[in-house]
Structure 1
Amino acid sequence: MPSDGTLSIGELAARAGTTVKTIRFYSDQGLLPETARSGGGHRRYGPDALARLRTIRSLRSLDVPVPEIKRVLDSGDGLEAVVARRLDDLGTQLAALRWREAALRALQESDPDQVAERLELIGAVGVPPSTAALDRYWRRLLPVRLSARLRSRITEAAVPPLPADPGTDQVLAFARLHALATAATDHCLASHRPVTVAHPDLLYDGLREAHDLVDAAVRAGTPPAPGEALDCYVAAHARAAGTRDTPAFRQALTVRLAAEDHPVMRRYWRLAGELADAPTLGAADAWLREALTASTATD
C-alpha cells in the first residue's frame, strides 16, 4: 500500500472478496468514487472505500436499486425510508406469489371439464389481483345523487378485502365476483342500474347505522328479530320516502324489498362472504329484511 494509504482497484477487490469488474461497475455508477489516479492512470481508492463497498454490497444483496443506494451514501441518511420501501415492495411481491400459487393449485385440483372455465376466470383477474372492477360496479350501482362521502364509504364496505394468503376456494370466489361485477358494469344489466331514491343520503346514512347495530347479532348467528336495528332500518326507508314508519308502510316495504331482491346481488354477497372475515353488508341487510318479514307476518 502506498504511503498515502490509498488502494489500487485490485487491492480493494482482494480485501473485499469481490472482483475488479464489480468495483469498476460501482465506480462508474458513482457509488464508489476514486480518490486519485496513479501515474499510469490506474484508479486509487481511499481508506474508507472498503467500508463503503461493504455497505454497497449489503444493500445490493437486499435488492436495493443502485440509484437508492447512491442517495443513501451521498446524503448519509434515508436508510430507514429505503428499508421501509423495500419491505413494502417485498410484501407486494409475496402477496402476488401467494395468489399465483393458490391460482395454480385451483387449476391443478380442477376436474378436466372445469379447467378451461377456471383458467378463463382466473386469467381475467390478473396477478396481483385488483378490486378496481368491483369499485366501478358499486359506484355505478349507487344513486347518482348520493354524496361523495357516502359513496366512498359504502363502496369501501361493499368491496371485500383480498386475503393476504388465499386458499383455492377464495381465488375462485374472487374470480367469479370479478366476472360478475365486470359483466354487470359492461353490459348495463337492467337489475343493476343506479338505484332511484328521492333522498339518497337520508336512506344510506340510516342503513349504515342499522347495519352497524345488527353486526353483533349477525356475527353471533342470532336469528332475525324486531328491535332497535330493525326500527332504524325501517325509519331510514321511511325518511327517504318522505313518510313515517307505520304498520302499513312496513307491509308495503316488505313487498317492495322482496320484489327488488335479485339473484345476481345474492350471488355477489355469497361470493363476497367467502372472502371477508366479517359479515358483509349483504348479510346484515338480509338479516334486517328477514326480521321485517317476520314482524309484518305477525301484525
Structure 2
Amino acid sequence: MNGATPLYSIGELSARTGVPIRTVRFYSDTGLLPPADRTPAGYRRYGDAALGRLRLIGVLRELDVGLATIRRVLDGDLSVAEVAAAHADATALQIRALRLRHGLLRLVARRGPSPEETVLMHRLTRLTADERRRMVADFVTGLGAGTQRARSAAAVVRTALPELPDEPSDAQLAAWVELAELIADDDFRARVVDAAFPPADEDALPGVAPGQAAELVPFVRGAVAEARAAGVDPEDARAVPVVDAVAGRFATVLGRPDGPELREWMAGRFEAGHDPLVERYWRLVWTVNDWQVVPGHLPFQPWMVRALRRPGRVSPSRR
C-alpha cells in the first residue's frame, strides 16, 4: 500500500465534509460523485478527487445552483465563474423582488387598506417597468384626446413622466401606488385637462379678463416663488409685504380699491384656479422620480390664499 492513494467509504466522506451519508449516496447514485473503486463485496470507495467534488457540490447547492448546472460544471462544460455570474444576476433580481415585497408589506401596514385595495396595491407594485410605462402612456394618450386644451394638458404632462426605479424607496413605492390609482381614474383625467398650466395664465384666475390675468399671474407667481425661496410662511408676518404688493398690483390692474373686499375676492379667485388633486399628482411624480421640489414650480394659489386669510391680519384700511 506504500504510495497508494487513500480510498474512502461513503461514511468517511460524510465525516470529512459534513455532508449527510444519505446525500453523499444520492450524489453518487446520480453520477455527480462516481466512485474510484469498489471492494470485493461491492462497496463504493472514493479517492481524494471525490472530496474536492463533494465540497464543490456542497458550496454550489448552498448557493442554490441546480443539480443539472452542477453536472455541467463537474463535466467541464461550464466554469464556476460563469455559473457564479449567472446566479449573481438571478440573486440580484430576487433581492429586488424581496425589497419590493418588503416595501409593499410596510405600505399595507401603514395604510390599512381593504382586502380589495390590498389586491390592487399588490398588482400595481408587481407591474414590470414596461407595463408601468404603458400604463402612464395610456393615461397621457387618453388625456390628449379631444380638444386643443386637452392636447395642451397632455403635452405638459408628457414633459415629466413618472419612472419608478428597480429598487424604490418606501416613499417612492407609496407614491407610485397612489399615482397609479390617480391616473386610472377618468374623473382625474378631466381635472387635469381643466387645470391651469403655464403659459395659459388666464386659466389660473377664472373670472378675470384674459388680458388682465396675463398681466397679474406672472407677477403673483414670481412674488410667491421668491417668498418660498426665502422660507417665508404664508401665515407669518413676513408675508404681509408680499400680500400688499400683490393686492396693490391687482387694485391697479383691475381699477378697484385695495381693501378686505378685494382681498377676499382675490382669495376666492385663487382657490377657483387651483386643483389640489392635480398638485398632488405633480408632487407624486417628483417623489417617484426622486426629484428635488423647486419652489417656482409649485402652484402659487394655495400660498396666496393662506397669506390673504392669515389669522390676525390687519386690514390695509386700518394701518
Give the TM-score of the pair, scaled to structure 1. Answer: 0.53
Trace 1:128-277 onto structure 2 (pairs within 5 A).
129-140=127-138, 141=140, 158-162=161-165, 164-167=167-170, 169-182=171-184, 268-277=281-290
1:131–1:159 CA contact under 8 A, matched in 2: no
**Other-structure match for 1:206:** none
1:133–1:178 CA contact under 8 A, matched in 2: no
**Other-structure match for 2:230:** none
User: For residues 47 and 163 of structure 1, do their structure 2 counterparts lie closer, same or farther at Cα, with a shift above 3 Å needed?
Assistant: closer
1:133–1:181 CA contact under 8 A, matched in 2: no
> How many Å separate the matches in 1 of 2:49 and 2:132?
55
> How many Å separate the matches in 1 of 2:286 and 2:12?
64
User: For residues 16 and 175 of structure 1, do their structure 2 counterparts lie closer, same or farther at Cα, with a shift above 3 Å needed?
Assistant: same
Superposition deviation, residue 118 in structure 1: 4.8
1:27–1:33 CA contact under 8 A, matched in 2: yes
**SS in structure 1 of the partner of residue 42 of structure 2:** coil
Letter in 2 for 1:273: W
- Matching of residue 122 in structure 1 with residue 121 in structure 2: yes
Trace 1:52-63 onto structure 2 (pairs within 5 A).
52-63=53-64
Number of residue pairs matched by the alignment: 208
User: For residues 263 and 81 of structure 1, do their structure 2 counterparts lie closer, same or farther at Cα, with a shift above 3 Å needed?
Assistant: farther
Q: Answer with 169-178 or 53-62: which moved more.
A: 169-178
Superposition deviation, residue 179 in structure 1: 3.2
2:176–2:288 CA contact under 8 A, matched in 1: yes
User: For residues 159 and 74 of structure 1, do their structure 2 counterparts lie closer, same or farther at Cα, with a shift above 3 Å needed?
Assistant: farther
2:179–2:284 CA contact under 8 A, matched in 1: yes
Deviations 1:119-138 (A, max 9, x none): 244223254x5334332234
2:125–2:177 CA contact under 8 A, matched in 1: no
> How many Å separate the matches in 1 of 2:292 and 2:110?
29
**SS in structure 2 of the partner of residue 123 of structure 1:** helix
**Alpha-carbon RMSD:** 4.4
**Gaps in structure 1 of 5+ consecutive residues:** 144-153, 193-220, 224-261, 291-299
> How many Å separate the matches in 1 of 2:42 and 2:184?
65
1:134–1:181 CA contact under 8 A, matched in 2: no
> How many Å separate the matches in 1 of 2:35 and 2:43?
10
Structure whose alpha-carbon radius of gyration is higher? 2
> How many Å separate the matches in 2 of 1:75 and 1:268?
56
Letter in 1 for 2:167: A
Superposition deviation, residue 159 in structure 1: 4.2
The percentage of counterpart residues that share the same residue type is 34
User: For residues 117 and 222 of structure 1, do their structure 2 counterparts lie closer, same or farther at Cα, with a shift above 3 Å needed?
Assistant: farther
> How many Å separate the matches in 2 of 1:76 and 1:117?
50
Give the TM-score of the pair, scaled to structure 2. Answer: 0.50
> How many Å separate the matches in 2 of 1:161 and 1:106?
16
Superposition deviation, residue 48 in structure 1: 0.7
Letter in 2 for 1:171: L
Deviations 1:85-111 (A, max 9, x none): 22222222222222222222222223x
Superposition deviation, residue 191 in structure 1: 9.1
Deviations 1:191-249 (A, max 9, x none): 99xxxxxxxxxxxxxxxxxxxxxxxxxxxx999xxxxxxxxxxxxxxxxxxxxxxxxxx
